[in-house]
């Protein structure tokens, strides 16, 4: 399955869940919005941080969403490589596997 489809499927699942627990969804939405309203760091830097955490926590859906957001924020494949290297250094073998997923997501989501 390609990453565009994975992201779309996850968004569909989240919509269903959000209808089940709307107050939690609203609260998480507010938290996400506040965290992304850059005070000092730019959005691209914040997305790099989020992606590093997604790799370390081994959240495939998070990787897909943050790679997509990172591309929209102007990130480059070379910058992504630096972040992947740091994520692997911090997380070892398991992060290596998810860093590979992040690179595949980038290549898929940014392909013309």
Q: What is the pLDDT of residue 112?
A: 75
Classified by CATH at the fold level, domain 3-109 comes out as AhpD-like (1.20.1290)
pLDDT one-digit tens code per residue, 24-69: 999 999 999 999 887 899 999 999 999 999 999 999 999 999 999 9
**For residue 1, is pLDDT > 80?**
no
Checking 101-108 for CB contacts under 8 A at 24+ apart, the result is 101/60, 101/63, 102/51, 102/54, 102/55, 102/63, 102/67, 104/3, 105/3, 105/63, 105/64, 105/67, 105/68, 106/67, 106/70, 106/71, 106/77, 106/80, 107/77, 108/2, 108/3, 108/4
Q: Domain limits of the chain?
A: 3-109
pLDDT one-digit tens code per residue, 77-109: 999 999 999 999 999 999 999 999 999 999 999
42 — phi, psi (to 5°)?
A: -80, 165
pTM above 0.85, yes or no: yes
């Amino acid at each position: 399955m390609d990453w565009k489809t994975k992201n779309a499927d996850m968004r569909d699942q989240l919509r269903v869940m959000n209808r089940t627990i709307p107050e939690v969804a609203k609260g998480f939405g507010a938290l996400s919005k506040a965290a992304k309203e850059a005070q000092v760091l730019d959005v691209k830097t914040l997305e790099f941080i989020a992606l590093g955490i997604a790799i370390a926590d081994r959240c495939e859906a998070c990787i897909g969403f943050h790679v997509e957001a990172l591309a929209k924020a102007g990130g480059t494949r070379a910058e992504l490589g630096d972040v992947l290297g740091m994520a692997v250094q911090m997380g070892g073998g398991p992060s290596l596997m998810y860093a590979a997923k992040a690179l595949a997501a980038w290549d898929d989501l940014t392909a013309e």
